[in-house]
Amino acid sequence: MFLTKEQQKMLDGEFGHAIAKLTQLIVKIGEVNGATRLIPIKNAQIAGVSYLTVGEPIFTFFNMLSEDNVKVSVPSWLNPAGMDMKKWKEMGIKNDFAEKQRKIIQQYQKMGIQPTLTCTPYLIGHKPKFGDHLAWSESSAVSVANAYYGARTNREGGPSSLASAITGFTADYGLHKKENRVPKIVVDVKATITHFSDFSALGYWYGEKFHGIIPYFKNIKNTNIDQVKMLGAAMAASGSVAHFHIAKHTPEAEKVDLSYISETVTFDENDKKQIYDHFNQIKERVNLVVIGCPHTSLEDVKLIDSSLGDKSIKEGIKFWVFSSQELMQNDKAKKLLTNLEEKGVKIFTDTCMVVSPVVRENYKNIVTNSAKAAFYLTREGTNNVNLLSLSEIIERVSE
């Protein structure tokens, strides 16, 4: 590995023990993956925030970092936490969990990391630019950054994204290199893809079949950021797919080298139905609806409001929507939220159904429009999750 003088000093401990360790971590991961140099990153998005997913071990690591008083060297943002930082009691979060959660976020803030607590930094103004090198760790954000914006990031872990945030570098391998961004499989989309849940089903289907392989989707008529985030999130969940192309839509699709294509597959109505059927086996009375995996945009929330119209959510059913504080705190959004609350829809920010303990623990029969959420919530086998389109969900739970 070639290191600049500055990087060598970092590795040699001239800037302290913690910086040396974190640099060593990036260098070794790079060497194992065949990198020959480190490259500067524009910004970092850091996972490992919810107390549910990091537990006690994170505190020993924070101790090491705080001894050297390390700070991030590029703009850095946090993934969702295990609770809404204001309305956690309303969610059913217990006091001791809340205390641990606050401590974790304070520790990250001490390093200069912004507590955005969202999996969709690109929806709150942090849109990557074409060709930017990043160190992002939330798998859905990684795939959106690569595919929709044409930025370059590997799927980092919590520790490696934090190491990059602090040192300002990542190793030059994987998706940072053009030659590794080419598609290997063409997916001819014959099924009708309209609802968010359809994009999600397509992503889930592909990821399950072709683990880690970059696809090139053909015949998807329209794509907006909210549709692409559903597609990417599901593919990352079921198959660790970190990049994809959509013909005529994503920025690399037109110029990308198609000579590595080894197979063309079709996604038809039957394939789509199979994914819905996979999650819709148990038809019991719904306890909880969860929308917002990945976090909703303001447009997503408006759509829930307009789909509901004059109707309200039925008694005994909870309807939870997850988003970022940044989007939900402006005056326009506040009015919308008040409207929705009156209809029985609750908006929580800073967290989601996957990283908060309460959804899994307190609700058995869950409905969502996200295959990623369905995948994670059914993994332990204790929850029944139905995957439906937003309009079907509203039809079922409102009156």
DSSP 97-164: HHHHHHHHHHHHHHTT-B----S-GGGGT-PPPTT-B-EE-SHHHHHHHHHTT--B-----HHHHHHH
Only segment of 57-65, 91-99, 287-295, 343-351 that touches another protein (CB under 8 A): 57-65
Q: Which of residues 127-186 bind another protein (CB under 8 A)?
A: 137, 156-160, 163
Least Å from the CB of residue 350 to another protein? 19
Nearer to another protein, 64 or 282 (CB): 64
How many chain residues bind another protein (CB under 8 A)? Answer: 25
State which residue, 65 or 213, has the beta carbon closest to another protein. Answer: 65
- Find the binder of another protein among 2, 34, 40, 55 (CB under 8 A): 55
Based on the shown chain and the rule CB under 8 A, indicate whether residue 29 belongs to the binding site for another protein: yes
The interface with another protein within residues 319-358 (CB under 8 A) comprises none
CB 62, min distance to another protein, A: 9
398 DSSP assignment: B
Pick from 1, 3, 25, 265 the residue near another protein by CB under 8 A.
Answer: 25
SS3 for 239? helix
> How many angstroms from the chain centroid is the CA of residue 79?
8
Alpha carbon distances (Å) from 391 to 236, 347, 369, 398: 25, 18, 10, 10
The nearer residue to another protein, 82 or 150, going by C-beta atoms, is 82
Name the minimum Å distance from CB 253 to another protein. 29
Cβ(33)–Cβ(156) below 8 Å: no
d(CA 164, CA 133): 11
Judge whether 200 and 370 are in contact, CB under 8 Å: yes
Tell me whether residue 143 or residue 227 sits nearer to another protein (CB atom).
143
- Least Cα distance to 150 among 80, 251, 230, 231 occurs for 251
Encoded amino acid at 328, one letter: M
Question: What DSSP line would sit under 361-383, residue for residue?
Answer: HH-SEEEES-HHHHHHHHTTSS-
Tell the smallest beta-carbon distance from residue 174 to another protein (Å): 11
Q: Which two tokens stand for residue 28?
A: 């070794």
For residues 183 and 399, give the distance between their C-alpha atoms in angstroms, rounded to a whole number.
46
Interaction between residue 53 and another protein (CB under 8 A): yes
Q: How far is the CB of 277 from another protein (least distance, A)?
A: 28
DSSP 174-238: GGGSGGGS---EEEEE-S---SHHHHHHHHHHHHHHSTTPPEEEE------HHHHHHHHHHHHHH
Q: Which stretch binds another protein (CB under 8 A): 51-59, 97-105, 230-238, 293-301?
A: 51-59
Residue from 2, 8, 14, 28 that binds another protein (CB under 8 A)?
28
- Out of 8, 12, 14, 32, point to the residue binding another protein (CB under 8 A): 32
Dist CA 370 CA 357 (whole Å): 18
Residue 159 CB, nearest approach to another protein (Å): 4
- Minimum distance between the CB of residue 53 and another protein, rounded to whole angstroms? 6
In this complex, which beta carbon is closest to another protein, that of residue 21 or of residue 103? Answer: 21
What's the rounded Cα separation, in Å, for the pair 156 and 174? 11
Answer yes or no whether residue 310 interacts with another protein by CB under 8 A: no
Report d(CA 344, CA 280) in Å as an integer.
24
From the list 3, 24, 68, 127, which residue makes contact with another protein (rule: CB under 8 A)? 24
Q: Single out the residue of 21, 87, 209, 343 in contact with another protein (rule: CB under 8 A).
A: 21
Q: Interface with another protein includes 34 (CB under 8 A)? A: no
**Percentage helix, strand, coil, to 5, in the chain?**
45, 15, 40
Kindly state the smallest distance separating residue 366's Cβ from another protein, in Å.
22
Binding range to another protein, per CB under 8 A, among 56-64, 209-217, 256-264, 307-315 = 56-64
Residues that bind another protein (CB under 8 A): 21, 24-25, 28-29, 32, 47-48, 53-58, 60-61, 63-64, 137, 156-160, 163
